[in-house]
Structure 1
Amino acid sequence: MTLPKAVDNFIAATNAHDANALAAVLGHGATVRDDGKTWAGEAEIREWIQGHLISPQIVLSPTSFADDRLVASGDGEFPGGPLSFAFVFGIKDDQITDLAIEPV
């Protein structure tokens, strides 16, 4: 499966549990919508990264990608996993500007 560079970088940084690489791929002014909440700004984005990706040791296994929508299985240290999620990306200049995540 061929992925845009930003999406590939997001998956690699998530699976490596690298908070700094994740923050770098989320562009300045990015927003993340996940679990019914919106995170914006560097401090909130880093809080989301730590709480939703790093601490639970999330590992993503992509299953499909079309029209900026990635479906992936997510596993980690959380109840009920693995679970499937849809990630809808807004991308500009190889950085993620907007990310919406929902269970599939």
Structure 2
Amino acid sequence: MDDITLPDAVGTFIAATNAHDANALAAVFSDGATVRDDGKTWAGGTEIREWIHGHLINPRIVLTPTSFADDRLVASGDGDFPGGPLSFAFVFGIKDDQVTDLAIEPV
């Protein structure tokens, strides 16, 4: 990750994910933000907190970025799930250093 320049919100998202810090992760998202992952959409603070716990905290995900360009982060994700590590693309919408929209898909 040292060679990859990331916007502050993306760097905070990765650091909070790897620290398994649900509060820091939730703080990265703006009011009214959305997350699209696993064919579902989570909207707003309560739903995004559910997504954070179910998809990042409980499986103890650790992200290792491999590239970032045009708001698209590609990272290897490992944790307590079968078949890992897996590569994912995270496409971020960012405004005022907060994530407004996040779409995640396997690479």
Common fold, TM-score beyond 0.5? Answer: yes
Unpaired runs of at least 5, structure 1: none
TM-score by length of 2: 0.97
1:92 matched to which residue of 2? 95
Q: Distance in 2 between matches of 1:42 and 1:70?
A: 23
Rounded to whole Å, the distance in 2 between the matches of 1:97 and 1:56 is 24
Q: Which residue of 1 aligns with 2:65?
A: 62
What's the TM-score once normalised by structure 1's chain length?
0.99
1:29 pairs with one of 12, 29, 32: 32
Instruction: Name structure 2 gaps, 5 residues minimum.
Output: none
Q: 3-state DSSP class of the match of 1:31?
A: strand
Per-residue deviation, residues 7-47 of structure 1 (Å, max 9, x unmatched): 00000000000000000001111000000000001110000
Overall identity of the aligned pairs, in %: 86
- Give the 3-state SS of the residue equivalent to 2:24 in structure 1: helix
- Hey, what's the Cα distance between the residues in 1 that align with 2:22 and 2:48? 10
Aligned residues, how many?
104
RMSD: 0.3
In the TM superposition, structure 1's runs of 4+ consecutive aligned residues that sit over 2 Å from their partners are: none
